[in-house]
Amino acid sequence: MNEDFDKFISVSLKNWTARHKIPPGGRLILLREIESPRPDKNSLSWKIWSFVKQYALEPENLQDLYDEWLWEPLPQSKSWYAHIAASWRLSH
């Protein structure tokens, strides 16, 4: 019975995790972060935030900005958005 249970759990976990793909651009984002780690003002996040603040852009315009910087979709990362959102709140 344990063998059936083990197989059930193992196959279910493998299939569930395989269903979720890694968001694109991870390697590029990683290397950019290392080249300009936060809170370095040369970091990508800081540059984007500065740009948003300078031109009083709406958060919706971040996609356009990001397209211009990386030519990739925005990272689907909670911490990244939290960082931008916190910066946004501080500036308003």
Partner 1 sequence: MSRIEDREITKQLQEGSLEALGMLYDRHRNLVYRTALAITGDVDTASDLLQDVFLRLYRFAERIDSSRPLEPWLYRMTANLAYTWVNRNKRWLFSLDDLGEWLIGAGKDTPLEMVEFKDDWDQVQNAVTKLPFPQRVVIVLYYLNDLPLQEIADILEIPVGTVKSRLYYGRIALKKNLGIGLFGAGEIHPGFNYKGT
* Contact call for residue 8 and partner 1 (CB under 8 A): yes
In the complex, what is the shortest distance from the CB of residue 28 to partner 1, in angstroms, rounded to a whole number? 9
Using CB under 8 A as the binding rule, the residues of this chain from 54 to 83 that contact partner 1 are 75-80
Q: What is the DSSP letter of 59?
A: G
User: CA separation (Å) from 16 to 9, 23, 24, 57?
Assistant: 10, 16, 19, 39
> From CA 91, how far away is CA 67, in angstroms rounded?
23
* Contact call for residue 85 and partner 1 (CB under 8 A): no
Enumerate binding residues for partner 1 (CB under 8 A).
1-2, 4-20, 22-23, 26-27, 29-31, 33-35, 37, 75-80
